[in-house]
Structure 1
Amino acid sequence: MHYLESPTRNLFFTGKGGVGKTSMACATAVRLADRGRRVLLVSTDPASNLDEVLGVTLSNKPTSVPAVDNLSAMNIDPEQAAAEYRERMVGPYRDVLPEAAVQSMEEQFSGSCTVEIAAFDEFARLLGDENATADFDHIVFDTAPTGHTLRLLTLPSAWSGFMDENTSGTSCLGPLAGLQKQQAIYHSTVESLGDSSRTTLVLVTRPEASTLREADRTSDELRELGVENQALVINGTFEARDKSDPIANAMEQRCKEALMAMPSGLAQLQRTVVPLAPHGLVGIDALRLLGRTEPNGEMARNEIAGEERVSILEALPASALIDQLATQQHGVILTMGKGGVGKTTIAAAVAVALAERGLKVHLSTTDPAAHVSATLAAEELSGLTISRIDPAEVTEAYRQEVLRTAGDGLDEQGRALLEEDLRSPCTEEIAVFRAFADAVAEGEDGFVVLDTAPTGHTILLLDSALAYHREVSRQTNEVPESVRELLPRLRDSDFTRVLVVTLPESTPVHEAQRLQQDLRRAEIEPFAWVVNQSLSPLVVKDRILVGRQQNEEPYLREVFTQHAKQAVIIPWQLDPPIGIEGLRELTADKASC
């Protein structure tokens, strides 16, 4: 790992969901700690799985990792941070102001903006206030998937700029007095991000065309933010050991082609290449082995006993799942799961299969990092339409609508206050949420297949339905019908079908389990699980792939026996599932047996 030759104090790991940011961040933190450096490992991802990887229960305070001297870790939990932030703002007034006034203040701090600023408040304290981390030599940030990370990194400028320009003393967060004292830390955070002597941004990617393009875009956007000190980790490269294995050969060839077509900007960065691991990267021992490619003795067996593969026989054929979805003739199908599990691909495959059955289908996404049109390779299919909820577009449309409606009749000062309010960073969250509700409403007239954002963001988006009325009424005094009907539609199993997408690995399966629990708390019952990119249905000979195939079995068994009412297994594809024909292969009968 070249970036560890002269490591800076702050190390950020970012990249598209599922590329291995957590594994790389954890392995880096362990190696630095093993050198005797005092390290704090921090997750800013609302869907963090640091606890599972490190084998320790974490909170929003530094916790020592027993298996590694000198290493502490923590999660910045957005909801918990919001609750603590809200209490800091409201608590001092509980016995001073009337109860009605206190309740009004609590209302002001109940929106999505409070969650955003509270989580950032913690982040800024760690990065911008060195006194808060004086006990550590290095801070390693395991950040959220690309879209969320970029938003997090732009928040120092967004929030400090908003406060500098705001003249009314109020915002979507209520009074700004509680934020003004933080400005010095926010400005220090901006400086730290752009200081190459203090901060390194490690872009993690996989040897796949889409993730390399995503990393290249991220790199450019970070440079625009002033973050110049960047390093590149290409995780999961593969070279076939057994040339008689067609799966191994195809995997090697796909890897080589992607690397040869690497964008020129990425090719300029200092690069670390990490081979595909034959085992799961959970536990300190596995993290210390990161980069080794030889399976251990237990993983070197050449076959899996028949009784251990029984879960494959229990899988629902992919075509049968499509048949079940098609029976309702209209409604919403949501693909949900951890970033990088293939939600976009599965959503596109489902949309293609339904359209080929003669049904009207609209495919869209609420994930700013997803590219459904690229998955379809710009091909067209009768009955299928495609769109993307573009944050910039829907935010501007929302601003103009609010100014046209709520701003109508206001005097000059009132309109200025409204425009100021609409410049707050949370306006985008409101606009995207409303666009999501509008997309769901379209399911009344046909099928809408929504490729949703990674798990944590998706749940925050769904949860915000309850707070949305308060947020919108503050600006417009109106709530669209699509928003009023959203939760009833999502809870209607005859209208909304949720497909939980996962990979046959520890972290994605357990993340999907937590997602299912969150959905059930919201009274939304998943329809089926889709286990994507599995080697288990295939015949493999290469010892690395045999090791990975064996590693899948306990997680497949867990899905079928503990979590899913019904599940489909989609095997790893010899050809990339791009374009109509490639997507059609995913839902063919042979794809799940």
Structure 2
Amino acid sequence: MSKNVSKYIFFSGKGGVGKTSMASTTGVHYAEKGLKTIIVTTDPAANLADVFQQKIGHQVTPIDGVENLFAMEIDSKKATEEYKEQTLAPMREIFNEKMLAVVEEQLNSPCTEEMASFDRFIDFMDDDSYDVVIFDTAPTGHTIRLLELPVDWSKHIEESAEGSGQTCMGPVQNIQDSKEKYDRAIELLKDEKRTEFIFVMHPESSSIRETQRASKELREIGINTSSLIVNGIIPKEECNNPFFKKRGEMQQKHLKEIQQKIDLPIKKMELLDDEIKGLDILRNVADKLYKEAV
């Protein structure tokens, strides 16, 4: 594995900026360099299946036509059911029906669904069978919350152990192992040698503000943003048209603003005249995006 390749690569940003396209392109890029790569999405509006034009669901799926590339779309409802069963299974032999019903009631909370999705998500951070793990995350606000959860959760487990011994997910002794798992995940997220965090954005003022805000929130929990991809730039040759000329000038102004305000490496991706889906276009975009050595 190349010393320049991080183990974990996160893509985030506002909805609709092209995170899935850029994550998928990056997956194709690394897989075709001979690295075993998986793309995992936590976005409820995931369209990995659409991008790769094949069925992908709540299981690891090989991508047709690309050796070394796999994908999975985490389904929060299925993840929750799996997590509940995983929590309840060891209790069935020692608890009576009444006690099990109490625990099951505790598991019917929003906390459970969030933690279940995150738990499935970080399973891939405990899995050494891939060279590169790419996370196509939900829109930024949700991602930040997801990343903050293990910090809150570790504290919650500690406080519960000292107090009532109960958490929103059942008796604390049953999930003490989770604390170590989540703490390990946070350490990996903070390790810049093994983790990259990439924001995808458009050259627009709202996208700049969102990226600055989210990057600051990440920094506050000890995670540094690695780089930016500015997506959807109108090609210069198309700016002869009056409509595109005006929009192109606006984009160039915002590009300068991004370079001045955000001190990070930037990759630029031009707007294409077609959707980014199918292997031919993904390979073409990968060539443009990674034309410099990575």
8 Å CA contact 2:29–2:286 kept in 1: the answer is: no
CA 1:275–1:108: 2 relative to 1, 3 Å:
same
Deviation at 1:197, TM superposition (A): 0.6
8 Å CA contact 1:199–1:229 kept in 2: the answer is: no
The answer to whether structure 1 residue 201 and structure 2 residue 206 are counterparts is: no
Match of 2:144 in 1: 150
Deviation at 1:265, TM superposition (A): 4.2
Q: Which structure carries more relative contact order (alpha carbon 8 Å, separation 6+)?
A: 2
8 Å CA contact 2:157–2:172 kept in 1: the answer is: yes
The answer to whether structure 1 residue 255 and structure 2 residue 251 are counterparts is: yes
Aligned CA RMSD, in angstroms, stands at 2.1
> CA separation in 1, counterparts of 2:286 and 2:54?
23
Deviations 1:479-499 (A, max 9, x none): xxxxxxxxxxxxxxxxxxxxx
8 Å CA contact 1:60–1:76 kept in 2: the answer is: yes
Match of 1:52 in 2: 50
Q: Which amino acid aligns with 1:253?
A: E
> CA separation in 1, counterparts of 2:209 and 2:275?
26
Deviation at 1:175, TM superposition (A): 1.7
Match of 1:162 in 2: 156
Percent identity for Structure 1 against Structure 2: 37
Match of 2:109 in 1: 111
Deviations 1:100-142 (A, max 9, x none): 4333322211111110111111122222x2xx2x221111111
Deviation at 1:99, TM superposition (A): 3.3
Deviations 1:361-393 (A, max 9, x none): xxxxxxxxxxxxxxxxxxxxxxxxxxxxxxxxx
Match of 2:292 in 1: none
CA 1:105–1:25: 2 relative to 1, 3 Å:
same
Task: Tell me the secondary structure at the aligned position of residue 202 of structure 1.
Answer: strand
Q: Which amino acid aligns with 1:172?
A: C
Deviation at 1:212, TM superposition (A): 1.2
The answer to whether structure 1 residue 272 and structure 2 residue 275 are counterparts is: no
Deviations 1:518-569 (A, max 9, x none): xxxxxxxxxxxxxxxxxxxxxxxxxxxxxxxxxxxxxxxxxxxxxxxxxxxx
Deviation at 1:247, TM superposition (A): 1.5
Q: Which amino acid aligns with 1:107?
A: E
Match of 1:29 in 2: 27
CA 1:247–1:135: 2 relative to 1, 3 Å:
same
> CA separation in 2, counterparts of 1:253 and 1:284?
32
Deviations 1:320-350 (A, max 9, x none): xxxxxxxxxxxxxxxxxxxxxxxxxxxxxxx
8 Å CA contact 1:275–1:291 kept in 2: the answer is: no
Q: Which amino acid aligns with 1:189?
A: A
Match of 1:575 in 2: none
> CA separation in 1, counterparts of 2:287 and 2:242?
23
> CA separation in 2, counterparts of 1:32 and 1:181?
33
CA 1:230–1:243: 2 relative to 1, 3 Å:
closer
Task: Tell me the secondary structure at the aligned position of residue 261 of structure 1.
Answer: helix
> CA separation in 2, counterparts of 1:247 and 1:291?
28
> CA separation in 1, counterparts of 2:108 and 2:79?
12
Task: Tell me the secondary structure at the aligned position of residue 65 of structure 2.
Answer: coil
Q: Which amino acid aligns with 1:120?
A: F
CA 1:20–1:91: 2 relative to 1, 3 Å:
same
> CA separation in 2, counterparts of 1:175 and 1:156?
18
Deviation at 1:190, TM superposition (A): 1.0
The answer to whether structure 1 residue 217 and structure 2 residue 239 are counterparts is: no
Match of 1:233 in 2: 229
> CA separation in 2, counterparts of 1:146 and 1:60?
22
CA 1:177–1:265: 2 relative to 1, 3 Å:
farther
Q: Which amino acid aligns with 1:136?
A: Y
> CA separation in 1, counterparts of 2:84 and 2:92?
12
TM-score, normalised via structure 1 length: 0.46
Deviation at 1:88, TM superposition (A): 1.5
Match of 2:278 in 1: 283
> CA separation in 2, counterparts of 1:257 and 1:178?
55
> CA separation in 1, counterparts of 2:183 and 2:204?
37
In structure 2, the gaps of 5 or more residues are 289-294
Deviation at 1:67, TM superposition (A): 1.6
Deviations 1:249-307 (A, max 9, x none): 122122112223337442x10110000111001222221122789xxxxxxxxxxxxxx
CA 1:289–1:5: 2 relative to 1, 3 Å:
farther
Match of 1:173 in 2: 169
Task: Tell me the secondary structure at the aligned position of residue 213 of structure 2.
Answer: helix
In structure 1, the gaps of 5 or more residues are 294-593
TM-score, normalised via structure 2 length: 0.90
> CA separation in 1, counterparts of 2:103 and 2:77?
18
8 Å CA contact 2:199–2:225 kept in 1: the answer is: no
8 Å CA contact 1:54–1:282 kept in 2: the answer is: yes
The answer to whether structure 1 residue 76 and structure 2 residue 74 are counterparts is: yes
Q: Which aligned pairs between 1:117-516 and structure 2 lie closer than 5 A?
A: 117-127=115-125, 129=126, 132=127, 134-166=128-160, 167=162, 168-228=164-224, 230-242=226-238, 244-262=240-258, 264-266=260-262, 268-290=263-285
Q: Which amino acid aligns with 2:274?
A: H
Task: Tell me the secondary structure at the aligned position of residue 175 of structure 2.
Answer: helix
Task: Tell me the secondary structure at the aligned position of residue 289 of structure 1.
Answer: helix
Match of 2:97 in 1: 99
Bigger Rg over Cα: 1
Q: Which amino acid aligns with 1:156?
A: P
Q: Which amino acid aligns with 2:279?
A: I
> CA separation in 2, counterparts of 1:244 and 1:201?
36
Deviation at 1:173, TM superposition (A): 2.1
Deviation at 1:229, TM superposition (A): 5.1
Q: Which amino acid aligns with 2:217?
A: E
